[in-house]
Amino acid sequence: MKNILGVIFLIPIFLLTGSNKPIDAIYSKSDLSESELVKSDTFLTNEYTPSLEHPGILHNTKSIERMRAVVHKANATDPAYQTYLLMRNDYRAKSDYQLKGPYEYIARQKDYAWTKRNYEADFGAAYLNALMWIITQDESHATKVMEILTKYADKLKGIPNHNDAMLLAGFHAFQIAFALEMVSTTYDKIQQTDVDKVNNMLRNVFLPWLDNFYSIPPFSNGNWGLIVSRAYMGLAILWNDTEMYKKTIKFVLNGYDNGSFPKYIDVETGQCQESGRDQAHVQLGIGAAGSICEIAYKQGNDLYSALNNLVMKGYEYTAKFNVGHNNVPFKTWTDVTGKYSGWNTISPKARGNYRSIYGLAYNHYVIRKGLNMPYTKEMLDKNNWLGKFDGDCIDFDVFQFNDKDLNN
């Protein structure tokens, strides 16, 4: 019976919904207004080719060296080092982390919802131990990563067809891809059979849900598309798949979905599609957009500047309201699904609840490029420039992304 269920759970969504709308339907540029077709070479071209540098998901050799230098200096007054200490002391970053799974099926809802807290901790531990490995070069962290990933690869059969299946796949395919990339490209004692085993899990359990998201009409709030795209881009780099990488960029720049940059962020004000929903989800969405930009940047492609620094506008708008300013413009718009168009004011829900996303954007736009982000800076000042573990975002970002000592 379990084998039958495993097959059912992986039935493509279009068979369940009765839709087989092709991918180009999501990518149609004709649905974008003239105001959204901002004059930008990055927006209009499909000529994005990754360098396929490895390691190359969020971090490359240069950024790893920078993180090691921060730890070596051990400057107690440096927020990057202080954030590193927070990360090092997180129980999920320990090489003696005790695995809570694995499970045959994982879900955020319904019958398997009881697995959620545990698999989130396990995949978070793989992500953080991968970071600890590339920073400290302590082999116990590398072996912990592979212990977690291979045990799940041996047991995990599927993600049930629940509403949040694609979101789950987006969150955790990214964490797994990052962890495997960091270890498989830097640890020479890794077994290729173990790498193959984890890649098979990614292809057979997680990738079908990501592909399904791209193949059906838009239906979700924008954070979904951004989270799915972050995972898709990470997998493309892990697998040296240039076409998969380009497909991701085509979606985030041109996609007819709430999760494309021009559909998620207003080109004039920076208001985000979920600004009227609550501030937790909008920070989740804009943080995913920023991390997509950083992944591409490490592959030699500048998405940060696309649409006249559109992602920066989204960060600044979000930071301004969440840090306490009330004079932010707000307009009610019709989202691409028509389902999320009833928000008439910016939402105070979860206002000021800091997510670890702002250091990443500040690092690029201010430290690398010399631009101004006063409200993002104010948000970081208010939170003492410290990153934290979030699980849904790029954790401990103030430590991970701080290029002030590098020549970029």
Q: Letter for the amino acid at 331?
A: K
Q: Sign of the CA dihedral 13, 14, 15, 19?
A: positive
Helix (H/G/I), strand (E/B), else coil: 197: helix
Q: What is the pLDDT of residue 47?
A: 72
Residue 37, pLDDT > 60, answer no
State the pTM of this model. Answer: 0.90
Q: Give me the phi and psi of 112, to 5 degrees please.
A: -110, 15
Residue 236, pLDDT > 90, answer yes
Percent of the chain with pLDDT over 70: 88
Percent of the chain with pLDDT over 90: 83
In the structure encoding, which two tokens stand for residue 216, read together? 């059906």
Q: What is the pLDDT of residue 394?
A: 84
Q: Between residues 358 and 24, which one has the greater pLDDT?
A: 358
Q: What angle do CA 139, 51, 70 make, to 5 degrees?
A: 45
In the structure encoding, which two tokens stand for residue 329, read together? 């413009």
Residue 44, pLDDT > 70, answer no
Q: What is the pLDDT of residue 390?
A: 84
Q: What is the pLDDT of residue 392?
A: 80
Helix (H/G/I), strand (E/B), else coil: 89: helix
pLDDT, tens digit, 9 for 90 and up, residues 186-228: 999 999 999 999 999 999 999 999 999 999 999 999 999 999 9
In the structure encoding, which two tokens stand for residue 38, read together? 């901002």
Overall average pLDDT of the 135-160 stretch: 98
Contacts of 361 by beta carbon, 8 Å cutoff, 6+ apart: 290, 311, 312, 315, 373, 376
Q: What is the pLDDT of residue 361?
A: 98
CB 108 within 8 Å of CB 116: yes
Give per-residue burial for 83-107: e unless 16+ CB within 10 Å, then b: bbebbbebebbbbebeeebbbebbb
pLDDT, tens digit, 9 for 90 and up, residues 106-118: 999 999 999 999 9
Q: What is the pLDDT of residue 20?
A: 29
Q: Letter for the amino acid at 396?
A: F
Q: Rounded to whole angstroms, how far apart are CA atoms 137 and 322?
A: 38
The domain spans of the chain are: 25-53+256-408
Residue 18, pLDDT > 70, answer no
